[in-house]
């Protein structure tokens, strides 16, 4: 589960290239944040994808929108058997 933390990235919802579900359902909570962990990443949930992009941009000191959009593409091209946030992050880093 995420821990409360502020991201500094300027990547916004309007910068996303794909369409997402924005209604937090089930166990989703759009206000929870923190480091990517062993929780599963729902690639259809806008809150989860946007936060993952922002967090990785901060972690890797990426500043431009194109970098965030590249992360977004990598999230969706990542093999579907890699479902945890940690595994998705690792795959993106290895395939940058």
- The reported pLDDT for the residue numbered 1 is 44
Q: Which of 22, 57, 15 is nearest to 36 (CA)?
A: 57
The verdict on residue 71 lying in a domain is yes
**DSSP states of 54-70:** HHHHHHTT--SHHHHHH
- Containing domain of residue 96, as a range? 39-96
Token pair of 57 as six digits? 């941009």
Each residue's pLDDT tens digit, 24-74 = 655 545 544 556 657 899 999 999 999 999 999 999 999 999 999 999 999
The verdict on residue 23 lying in a domain is no
- The reported pLDDT for the residue numbered 25 is 59
How many separate domains does the chain show?
1
Token pair of 51 as six digits? 């936060």
pTM of the model: 0.81
The verdict on residue 68 lying in a domain is yes
The verdict on residue 77 lying in a domain is yes
The verdict on residue 9 lying in a domain is no
- The reported pLDDT for the residue numbered 78 is 97
In contact, 88 and 78? CB cutoff 8 Å: yes
């Amino acid at each position: 589960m995420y821990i409360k933390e502020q991201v500094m990235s300027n990547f916004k919802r309007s910068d996303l290239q794909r369409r997402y579900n924005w209604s937090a359902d089930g166990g989703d909570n759009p206000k929870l944040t923190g480091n990517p962990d062993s929780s599963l990443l729902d690639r259809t949930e806008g809150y989860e994808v946007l936060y993952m992009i922002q967090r990785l941009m901060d972690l890797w000191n990426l500043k431009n929108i194109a970098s965030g959009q590249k992360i977004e593409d990598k999230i969706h091209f990542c093999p579907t058997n890699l479902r945890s946030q940690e595994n998705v992050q690792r795959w993106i880093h290895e395939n940058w």
